[in-house]
Amino acid sequence: MNAPAPAQRAFLFDMDGTIVDNMAFHTTSWLAFFERHGHALDADAFFRDTAGRQGHEIIAKYLGEDADHVTLLAEKEIVYRELYGPHLATVAGFDRLIASARQAGVGLVVGTAAPAENIAFTLDGLDLRHRFDAIVGAADVERGKPHPDVFLKGALLAGALPHNCIVFEDAPLGVEAARRAGMRVVVLTTTLPAEAFAAFDNVIAIVPDFSSLDVDALFASVAPALAPHHQ
């Protein structure tokens, strides 16, 4: 009798702050945007309160539920692209890791809170879209992080069960979303120090970039599977 085919495995990457080290530019552009609208915000507090949130949630938090978030988000994105465009680049070791993952038959997914326009700016600007099996963004799920929807949908599209997935994240809300989905996480300290993730039991590694990561070693560290915490 032939042995059963191995279960599909997948890597799920948050985009901003993970594939690209851009969160400082996002924060700067948000602060400049809100200053135009009469709000002077502290950068550290703003990031803690909003990292992983979808743009319309951030608009509602500071400008109210009735604000025209479509128009306002377009305004903010113009500021962001002007600031970050000249610096667009992947985090060190990313290209090597996804090439190794592809050779090992690991599915590759982007799971981000970003809108379609920002996904296009980053992935198309770096010619990365074709490297992924699925891309799940803010428009593809009803609930943003810390809800698990974006990662669960990404795993489904990759044909992988949650316990066979590893998420790459830079924000506590994203780590919590993965925990609720029953997925392990590799944290990148592009945005916050390691101490910010001390409370999470689903973190298997904390690294400054992708350079030291090995595909087989990562999957060897994910057993036993986490129990999902779907909400």
- Respond yes or no: is residue 124 known to be catalytic: no
The tokens of 218 are what? 């990562």
- Respond yes or no: is residue 49 known to be catalytic: no
CA 143 to chain centre: 14
Distances 166 to 12, 31, 64, 199, 204 between C-alpha atoms, Å: 6, 32, 36, 18, 9
Q: Which residue has the tokens 């002077």?
A: 40
When the pLDDT of each residue in the chain is averaged and rounded to a whole number, the result is 91
Please tell me the distance from the alpha carbon of residue 3 to that of residue 148, in angstroms, as a whole number: 32
Q: Which residue has the tokens 């050779």?
A: 103
Active-site residue (options: 14, 21, 149, 170): 14
Check residues 97 and 56 and name the one with the higher pLDDT.
97
Angle at 17 between CA 158 and CA 52, to 5 degrees: 75
Exposed/middle/buried for 103, CB within 10 Å: 0-12, 13-18, 19+?
Answer: exposed
Q: What is the pLDDT of residues 38-52, one digit of tens each?
A: 999 998 888 878 877
Q: Does position 57 have pLDDT exceeding 80, yes or no?
A: yes
pTM, rounded to two decimals: 0.83
Q: What is the pLDDT of residues 161-172, one digit of tens each?
A: 999 999 999 999
The confidence band for 24, taking pLDDT boundaries of 50, 70 and 90, is: confident
The confidence band for 20, taking pLDDT boundaries of 50, 70 and 90, is: very high
pLDDT of residue 229: 52
Above pLDDT 90, what percent of the chain? 78
pLDDT of residue 26: 86
